[in-house]
Each structure stands twice: as structure tokens, then as C-alpha cells.
């Protein structure tokens, strides 16, 4: 028998064994998968399964219309051959049990409410029992009162790879929230784009936790051209109440072109609660506050800020603020503002952050950082024109004023050659070569400028040639970590077999 036959046979046998094992392996399964087969918004008729019928089947755990029955527990709604637009004639059924709704992709399938008179997906019954988690992915939602409304204590809501546009309510101060309105639930947004939405407060997102321990997590997401018509928080309104402790995290995201009264991008208003917001590797660009008066004027000491207003503990690091220019009450307003309404504690810490390209600041009239009485504004290693900004080391130079796709999931302001933000931070616990990454997930401390492996200030890490391939590989690596252990074991077996084969062939050549 040829000496090469054994390793070849071994390779075939091991691959076949792995395939059989993978087929028989006990993967975690959902209680039921209900497949939508038509874009027609039908209810109870025909052989096809519509989205409306699928939700009813999942809620009732019984077959409905052309849809298979759901079962108690987590059901999945999938789509087969359904692309384009599902035009709804009325509100979808409320989501009453835990569910995953997995669309084919935000660019491939749109759910259109055709009006702002009803919500898209609603969860308004008490969580618990068979309702503990709702996950939406791969869809575009448009033209709703609220594209998502969740008001169930103890619920976990997750959105990923979504686009939400032209939704929300403007006008008066009562029940007029933005595209996403969530209370008393944990909320996660990952790779979600919210654009051209409108609300009284929080044009894109109004998050109002009323119980202890709730969290908001936003990653790799974009908020653009959202508006709070007469209120504040053009993009996001955070309003923790009820005496609990809440946390909010925004990472590797971009908020651009949003408009509100007292806060163009984010309003944080803590009422009887303890709240922390952490913002890192994030870009704020061209947001605008329109007035220092209005519903929030007294509470925020008649202050106006183009980017963030709050009376909570806010921490901002490795971020970029560019292109903010508020002409209203310019001597007392700015890009960042912290205030308090009473004797409560309120502080803002800004570190390793770049505040640039704010036209009026050069003339001294426009303040980039302001604070109300009794508040704390701290920071370090920041580049800004405003000497009031804590931790200012110098005015920034050579920062591209154009927001652009420089790689990664979200747009950024690139540093130009010669910028004083480049390599301005020495290696430390927050600047680790090969570990710390910028907003695009490109490696920091890359040594591409002076070669000293230092980090750059702001959301963007400079490179002499854009390392789009490196960024793509980094994103692939992040996704790959989510692969099943079984897949990794199979790959390891194949690599081991190939190694043995190579070794055997080497022996054959030597014999």
C-alpha cells in the first residue's frame, strides 16, 4: 500500500465524521420558526404566511392563516423570498411572547406604516412568563408613530442591522416621542441607522427607564438628521426616573446633523435617579441647538448646547466633535454643557477628545464647553479652541471638516497629515498597542507617524494610507468570535489533518 494513502484516507474519514457529527450535534433550537412567504398584508386568508399572521401565530401558539404554529417560549419569524416593501394597512399585533424577527437585510426589506397614526412593533404587556426578550434584525422600518414601542419591566430589546427612518411624532409635549420609545426595559442597538425621524424630545430615540438596573447600549450606529421639533435631544432623549440606577453606553457611533431646542444631539435629564452615560470612540458632527428657551429652559438654566446637555455623570473619551456652530446666545452656550436643576450632583468628564471646526469659536463668541453653577467639568488630554474646556492642551490643527466613510460601520472626521492630534498620547492603560482601537476598529498606537507607537486624540487614528483592509479584517475577526465552538473545533480538526498529511508526505520524500 502506498504510504500516501493512509493520510489521504484519514483526511476523508475525518471530514466525513465531522460532517456527520455536525449534522447530529444538539444545536440550540428555537421553540418554533415561522416563515413569512408574502409581502401582502393579509390577515387570516390565503395559503401564504404574512408578517401580521406570523406574529399572531407566535402569540397564540397556534397555526393562523398560512403560518405554522408558534410554541411557548422563544419563536423565530424568518422570511423566504420576501423582498421589497410590506405596506401595512393597520397596526401589527402587539408582541406578547419572546420573539426573534430576522429580516433578509435592511436594504432588502422595508416595513412601511404609510402613516404616523400607529406603531410598528409594540411590546406593552408586563414582561415575564413567555415574554422576556425581543430581537429585531435585517429590516427597514419607516413611516410609523413609533417604529418600536416597548414598555415592559424586565424585558430585553435588541436591534441589529436595522434602518429606521421617517418615524416619530412632533408637536406638543404629551406622548410625542421619537422613532423608538422605550421605558423600563434594557435596550441594545448594534449597527442601526436612525435618520429623518421627529419627536418632541428625542427625535430618533426616547429612552425612559423607570426601574433599577436598566441599561442602554448603542454600538456602531448612526443618528442623522433627526429633529426634536420644540423639545430637546434631536437624536436621543435619556430620562431616567424612579430612584433607580441606570447606565447608558454609546460606542463607535456617529451623531450628525441632528437638531433640537436645548440639545441638538443628546439630552440627558435625570429625575430622581442615579445615572451614568459613557461615550467613547464616537463622532458628533454638525448638530444644532436652535434656542435657549422652551420646555427645558428653566430646568437647564436657559442653556443651549449643540451636542450634549445633561445633569448626570457623563464620561466622554476618544471622541470627536466637529462643525457645531450655534449662533443663539453664543456667549453662554456651546458644544458641551453640563448643568443641574437643584442640589443634585452633576458632572462631566472629557478625556482624549477632539473639539474642532466650530467656526464661531475662533472669534471667541462661541463657547465649546459651558457649565451651570454647582457642577463639575473635568478632563485631560483634549484639543479644543476653548480655554474653559477642562484638560485643554492646545487648539486642534489639521482635522478634516468633511464627515466621510473612512472605513468601519460609521462615518468619521479624518485627521490630516501634520495634525497635532497624531501620536499625542503616550502608551498607557488606555493606549495599548495591538489592543486599543478607534471608531473604525482600526488599531491605535500603530506607529504610522513618528513610529513611537503613541495614540491619537479623538475618534480617528491617523494612517498615512487608509488601512481599509485591516479594518475589514478586524470586523471579520469580531464577527468570527461569535461562531459556534463546534465550527472552530471542526476547523481545528481539518488543520490538524492537513498538518499530518504534510508531515507524512515529507516522510515519503525522505524514504
Q: Give me 135's grid cell.
A: 430581537
How does DSSP classify residue 487? H
How does DSSP classify residue 128? B
What is the pLDDT, as a whole number, of residue 253? 98
Spatial distance between the Cα atoms of 321 and 462, rounded to a whole number of angstroms: 16
- In the beta sheet, which residues pair with residue 277? 248, 314
* Long-range contact pairs involving 268-271 (C-beta distance under 8 Å, separation at least 24): 268/238, 268/308, 268/309, 268/310, 268/311, 268/312, 268/314, 269/237, 269/238, 269/239, 269/296, 269/299, 269/310, 269/311, 270/239, 270/240, 270/310, 270/311, 270/312, 270/344, 270/346, 271/239, 271/240, 271/241
Strands in 93-228 per DSSP E = 99-102, 109-112, 121-123, 133-137, 140-142, 148-150, 155-165, 180-183, 185-195, 198-199, 205-208, 215-219, 222-224, 227-228
What is the pLDDT, as a whole number, of residue 70? 95
Instruction: Name the residue ranges covered by the structural domains of the chain.
Output: 31-167, 180-188+196-480
How does DSSP classify residue 509? H
Residue for grid cell 453664543: 330
What is the pLDDT, as a whole number, of residue 263? 81
Query: In what helix (H) or strand (E) does residue 493 lie, and over which residues does it extend?
Result: helix 485-510
CB atoms < 10 A from the CB of 449, how many? Answer: 18
Report phi then psi at 254, rounded to 5.
Answer: -130, 130
What is the pLDDT, as a whole number, of residue 475? 54
Length of the chain equals: 511
Among candidate residues 83, 120, 121, 85, the one with its CA nearest the CA of residue 104: 83
| Angstrom distances, CA of residue 9 to CA of 2, 18, 496, 499 | 11, 14, 14, 14
What is the pLDDT, as a whole number, of residue 506? 43
Q: What angle do CA 37, 74, 113 make, to 5 degrees?
A: 50
3-state secondary structure 429-456: CCECCCCCECCCCCECCCCCCCCCCCEC
What is the pLDDT, as a whole number, of residue 58? 96
Q: Specify the pTM.
A: 0.83
Q: Give me 461's grid cell.
A: 487614528
For every one of its 511 residues, what pLDDT tens digit does the chain have, with 9 covering 90 and above?
A: 454 444 555 555 555 555 554 444 444 444 799 999 999 999 998 899 999 999 999 999 999 999 999 998 899 999 999 999 999 999 999 999 999 999 999 999 999 999 888 899 998 777 667 889 999 999 999 999 999 998 777 789 999 999 999 998 765 555 578 999 998 889 999 999 999 999 988 999 999 887 677 899 999 999 999 998 877 788 999 888 777 788 899 999 999 999 888 788 888 887 777 788 899 999 999 888 876 532 222 233 323 455 665 456 889 999 999 988 655 544 445 678 776 655 456 778 899 999 998 765 444 455 777 776 666 778 899 999 888 788 889 989 999 999 999 999 999 999 999 999 999 988 777 888 767 899 999 988 876 654 457 899 999 999 755 454 555 554 555 544 444 555 556 556 665 665 555 455 444 445 4
Question: What is the Cβ-side half-sphere exposure of residue 53, based on CA atoms within 13 angstroms?
Answer: 25
Contact 253, 287 (CB under 8 A): no
What is the pLDDT, as a whole number, of residue 352? 94
What is the pLDDT, as a whole number, of residue 10? 54
| Angstrom distances, CA of residue 214 to CA of 102, 202, 208, 302, 337 | 25, 18, 10, 30, 25
Spatial distance between the Cα atoms of 326 and 312, rounded to a whole number of angstroms: 23
Contact 98, 59 (CB under 8 A): no
Amino acid at each position: 500500500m502506498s504510504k500516501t494513502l493512509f493520510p489521504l484516507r484519514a483526511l476523508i474519514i475525518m471530514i466525513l465524521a465531522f460532517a456527520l457529527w455536525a449534522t447530529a450535534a444538539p444545536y440550540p433550537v428555537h421553540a418554533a420558526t415561522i416563515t413569512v412567504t408574502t409581502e401582502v398584508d393579509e390577515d387570516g386568508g390565503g395559503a401564504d404566511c404574512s408578517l401580521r399572521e406570523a406574529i399572531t401565530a407566535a402569540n397564540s401558539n397556534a397555526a393562523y392563516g398560512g403560518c405554522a404554529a408558534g410554541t411557548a417560549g422563544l419563536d423565530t419569524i424568518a422570511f423566504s423570498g420576501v423582498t421589497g416593501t410590506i405596506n401595512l394597512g393597520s397596526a401589527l399585533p402587539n408582541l406578547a411572547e419572546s420573539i426573534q424577527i430576522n429580516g433578509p437585510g435592511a436594504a432588502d426589506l422595508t416595513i412601511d406604516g404609510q402613516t404616523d397614526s400607529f406603531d410598528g412593533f409594540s411590546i406593552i404587556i408586563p414582561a415575564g412568563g413567555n415574554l422576556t426578550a425581543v430581537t429585531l434584525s435585517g429590516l427597514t422600518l419607516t413611516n410609523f408613530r413609533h417604529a418600536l414601542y416597548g414598555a415592559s419591566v424586565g424585558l430585553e430589546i435588541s436591534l441589529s442591522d436595522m434602518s429606521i427612518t421617517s418615524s416619530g411624532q412632533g408637536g406638543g409635549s404629551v406622548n410625542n416621542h421619537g422613532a423608538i420609545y422605550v421605558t423600563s426595559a434594557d435596550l441594545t442597538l448594534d449597527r442601526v441607522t436612525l435618520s429623518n425621524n421627529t419627536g418632541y424630545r428625542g427625535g430618533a430615540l426616547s429612552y425612559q427607564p423607570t426601574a433599577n438596573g436598566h441599561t442602554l447600549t448603542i454600538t456602531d450606529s448612526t443618528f442623522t438628521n433627526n429633529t426634536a421639533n420644540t423639545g430637546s435631544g434631536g437624536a436621543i432623549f435619556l430620562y431616567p426616573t424612579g430612584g433607580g440606577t441606570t447606565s447608558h453606553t454609546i460606542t463607535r457611533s456617529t451623531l450628525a446633523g441632528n437638531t433640537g431646542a436645548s440639545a441638538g444631539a443628546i439630552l440627558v435629564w435625570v429625575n430622581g435617579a442615579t445615572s451614568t452615560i459613557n461615550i467613547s470612540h464616537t463622532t458628533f458632527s454638525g448638530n444644532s441647538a436652535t434656542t435657549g428657551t422652551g420646555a427645558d429652559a428653566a430646568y437647564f438654566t436657559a442653556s443651549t448646547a449643540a451636542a450634549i446637555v445633561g445633569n448626570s455623570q457623563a464620561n466622554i473619551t476618544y471622541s470627536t466633535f466637529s462643525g457645531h456652530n450655534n449662533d443663539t446666545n453664543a456667549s453662554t452656550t456651546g458644544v458641551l454643557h453640563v448643568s443641574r436643576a437643584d442640589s443634585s450632583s452633576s458632572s462631566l468628564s472629557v478625556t482624549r477628545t477632539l473639539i474642532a471646526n466650530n467656526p464661531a469659536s475662533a472669534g471667541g463668541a462661541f463657547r465649546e464647553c459651558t457649565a451651570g453653577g454647582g457642577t463639575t467639568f473635568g478632563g485631560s488630554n483634549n484639543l479644543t479652541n476653548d480655554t474653559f474646556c477642562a484638560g485643554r492642551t492646545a487648539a486642534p490643527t489639521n482635522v478634516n471638516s468633511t464627515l466621510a466613510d473612512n472605513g468601519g460601520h460609521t462615518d468619521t472626521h479624518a485627521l490630516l497629515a501634520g495634525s497635532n492630534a497624531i501620536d499625542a498620547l503616550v502608551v498607557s492603560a488606555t493606549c495599548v498597542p495591538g489592543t486599543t482601537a478607534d471608531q473604525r476598529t482600526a488599531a491605535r498606537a500603530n506607529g504610522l507617524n513618528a513610529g513611537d507607537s503613541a495614540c491619537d486624540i479623538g475618534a480617528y487614528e491617523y494612517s498615512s494610507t487608509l488601512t481599509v483592509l485591516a479594518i475589514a479584517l478586524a470586523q471579520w475577526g469580531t464577527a468570527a468570535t461569535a461562531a459556534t465552538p463546534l465550527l472552530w473545533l471542526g476547523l481545528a480538526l481539518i488543520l490538524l489533518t492537513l498538518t499530518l498529511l504534510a508531515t507524512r508526505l515529507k516522510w515519503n520524500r525522505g524514504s
